[in-house]
Amino acid sequence: MSSARKPRVELLQGTLDLIVLRALATMGPQHAYALTARLEQVADHAFTLNQGTLYPALVRLEQKGWIKGSWRTTENNREAKYYGITRAGARALENETDRWRRLAGLVDKLLLDER
């Protein structure tokens, strides 16, 4: 099935934070536009992030101390806020990943047991 024909996926509440933390841990500091483009590319465009979705997540993560933003110049010579994961964010990423895997395993088990 081509990516143009794949149905869109809605992210469950809380998963965007986990995805953003993982992306920043893997890619290093990114500005919001680059982060959005990369996440959509990796997801094979199965979901679309917009400013109304991503920016509140970035603010939330920054308020928790899991990411830190700093102003830098982009490759296009524009000022943008780059976000990087903090040590607390790396610990949170590990904890949230474990929690997500347990939850996904439970849901998978329950779905398989229903057959």
pLDDT over threshold 50, residue 1: no
Q: What is the pLDDT of residues 10-56, one digit of tens each?
A: 666 678 999 999 999 999 999 999 999 999 888 887 777 877 889 99
How far out from the chain centre does Cα 93 lie? 11
pLDDT of residue 12: 65
- Cα separation, 41 vs 108, in Å, equals 26
pLDDT of residue 93: 98
Q: Report DSSP letters for the chain, one per residue.
A: --TTTSPP-PPPTTHHHHHHHHHHHHH-SEEHHHHHHHHHHHTTTSS---HHHHHHHHHHHHHHTSEEEEEEE-TTS-EEEEEEE-HHHHHHHHHHHHHHHHHHHHHHHHHHHT-
Look at phi and psi of residue 14 and say left if phi exceeds 0, alpha if psi is from -120 to 50, else beta: left
Report whether pLDDT(6) > 80: no
**Phi and psi, residue 43, nearest 5°:** -80, 5
Predicted confidence (pLDDT) at residue 65 exceeds the cutoff of 50:
yes
Q: In terms of pLDDT, which residue wins out, 2 or 42?
A: 42
- pLDDT tens digits for range 78-103: 999 999 999 999 999 999 999 999 99
Strand partners for 2:
none
| Antiparallel, parallel or unpaired: β 67-73 and 79-85 | antiparallel
What pLDDT is recorded for position 42?
A: 87
Say what the pLDDT of residue 32 is: 93
